[in-house]
Amino acid sequence: MHCIRFQCNKLILISYTHSKPLQHYSNSSQHNNIHNNVTISLLDREYPVDNLTTITPTILSKVDRHLHNQYQHPIEIIKRRIVSYFSHKWVDSNGDPLFKSFDNFSPVVSLEQNFDSLRVPLDHVTRSKSDNYYINNQFMLRAHTSAHQRDTIALGHSQFLVTGDVYRRDEIDTKHYPVFHQMEGVELFTNEELFGNEQGSLFDPLKEETEEKQAEHSLETVLAIEKNLKYKLESLMQHLFGNNLQMRWSGTYFPFTHPSYELEIYWNDKWLEVLGSGVMRQHILVAGGKGSKAGYAFGLGLERLAMILFGIPDIRLFWSKDRRFIDQFINLQENSSLNYKPFSLQPPAMRDMSFWINNGEFEMNDFHEIVRDEGEEWIENVELLDEYQSPETRRKSLCFRITYRCMERTLLGEEIQELHTRITDRLQKEMSVSIR
Ligand code: PHE
C-alpha cells in the first residue's frame, strides 16, 4: 500500500486512499473558509484553521523534537555521516567543501513552496487532503525537503544539502511513521563545469522534450549530469555500507525531475529503495535565478538508511526517549558500526474490529490518523484483513487487525481494551462507520 508518493507509476498502489474526487487546492484564497476564528499556534505564529486543516495535536507535538539535530541520535548520526562524505570527498580547488549543508529550515512551508514551485500539477494525487498535514489553505508541514529547492538556489547556492523533518499522512506499520526525515541534495553546473574544455553545450536549440531529456537540455547535458549524480550517490552508499554493496538503478517519475532515477541497495537478501533523483526541471533553476546552469537533485530517506545500518526494527523507536534506546548510540565513533540490541521485546496483542462504511466516503488515511492519534506509540501495525460487500445492500464492511505493542513496557489487557474502545468510539463519531 505504500510508495514514494511522487512516483506516478506506482500510484495505483495507493488508489484506495483516494476514492473521493480530488479537490484542486492552490495557494489562492478561494478556499478562505476560516472556521470560527480557531487558530493553531505553531513556532511562534498563529494560523487560522480552515476547511483544509488536517494537522493534529499529536503531530504538532513532534515539530520541536528536531531528531536530526539531536547529537548522537541515530538520525543525526546518519545525517552527519552523509554531510561528512560530501564535505571530505567533494571539495573545490582550495580544498573547501563544495556542498553547503542546511538543517534548520522551518518545516512550515507554503503550499506554493511544497507543490507549485516544483510545478506539481494541481490535480496531482500528492496534493490530496488525505495525504498531507495542512495547517490551512496557505501553509502546511512540508511533505518533502524538495520544498526548499528553488528558494535555496535563489539564496545563491549551487551545491547544497537540506536535511529536515517531513510530514505525511500514511498508514501504520513498523516502517512508516507520519513524521520522518529526508535529505535533499542539489548540484548545479555551468557549461564549463560540466564539460570542461571539451566541446559540449548545456542547452538544446531544438527545444524538444523526449523520453531521454527535457526540452531545454541537450542530450550531452543529461548524460553528463546522470553520470555525475550516479557516481556521487553510488560512492555515498559505499561510504555508508561498504565497498561490496550491490546496487541497481532504475528509471522512475517525479514531476520535478526528468529524466528520473531511483537507487536500490541489496541488503539482507532484499532490494531496498534508498533514494529518488533526477535532472532538475529547468523552470526551478530559472525561478531561482540560475537559468544559465543545469543540475540534478536527489532525496534520501534517513530513517530507512538508519534502520538498515543499525538494524533498527521499528520506526517508532526513533521517537523513544527511553535511555535504553538512546544510550546505545551515545558513544558510537565516527564510521564505526553498531547493531542495535532490542532492550525489551514486549509481546504484541492483537485486536480486530469490523465496521460498515458508506461507500465512497471512507478515507483510509483518516482512519489511520484516528488510530494513531488515540494510540500514539502503542500501535505497531494496522492491517486490513478482509473486505466484504453485502449482496443485498451493496454496503461494504472492512475488518482490521490492530497490533498493540509498546516498545518500553508490557501493556496490560485492560489498558489495551480501554484504548481499543476509545478508538472504536471515535471512529463511530468522526467517520460515520457502524461497528459490527
Ligand atoms: N521529493 C521526492 C520524494 O519525497 C524525492 C526526490 C527529491 C526526487 C529530489 C527527485 C529529486 O519522494
State if residue 298 touches ligand 1 by the CB under 6 angstroms criterion: yes
Q: How far is the CA of 255 from the centre of ligand 1 (A)?
A: 9
pTM across the whole model: 0.86
* Residue tagged 532490494 (cell numbers): 271
H/E stretch holding 185 reads strand 179-189
**pLDDT confidence band for 229 (50 / 70 / 90):** very high
State if residue 255 touches ligand 1 by the CB under 6 angstroms criterion: no
Which ligand 1 atom is at minimum distance from the Cα of 166? 4
User: What CA–CA distance (Å, rounded) separates 244 from 109?
Assistant: 40
pLDDT exceeding 70 applies to what percent of the chain? 91
Contact between residue 278 and residue 142 where contact means Cβ atoms under 8 Å apart: no
Nearest to 276 by CA among 170, 166, 152, 113: 166
- Residue ID of nearest Cα to ligand 1 atom 7: 299
Nearest to 141 by CA among 173, 113, 108: 108
**pLDDT confidence band for 35 (50 / 70 / 90):** low
Is 4's pLDDT higher than 50?
no
Q: Point out the least confidently predicted range of 18-27, 88-97, 124-133, 141-150.
A: 18-27
Q: How far is the CA of 402 from the centre of ligand 1 (A)?
A: 31
Q: How far is the CA of 398 from the centre of ligand 1 (A)?
A: 33
393: three-class secondary structure by DSSP: coil
- Residue ID of nearest Cα to ligand 1 atom 5: 299
- Residue ID of nearest Cα to ligand 1 atom 4: 144
Is 167's pLDDT higher than 80?
yes
User: What CA–CA distance (Å, rounded) separates 275 from 295?
Assistant: 17
User: What CA–CA distance (Å, rounded) separates 141 from 51?
Assistant: 16
- Residue ID of nearest Cα to ligand 1 atom 10: 277
- Averaged pLDDT for residues 93-107: 96
pLDDT digits (tens, 9 = 90+) for 116-130: 999 999 999 999 999
pLDDT digits (tens, 9 = 90+) for 305-361: 999 999 999 999 999 999 999 999 998 988 888 889 888 778 899 999 999 998 788
Q: How far is the CA of 376 from the centre of ligand 1 (A)?
A: 28
Please list, in sequence order, all residues whose beta carbon lies within 8 angstroms of the beta carbon of residue 320, skipping any fewer than 6 positions away: 326, 377, 407, 408
User: What CA–CA distance (Å, rounded) separates 67 from 181?
Assistant: 9
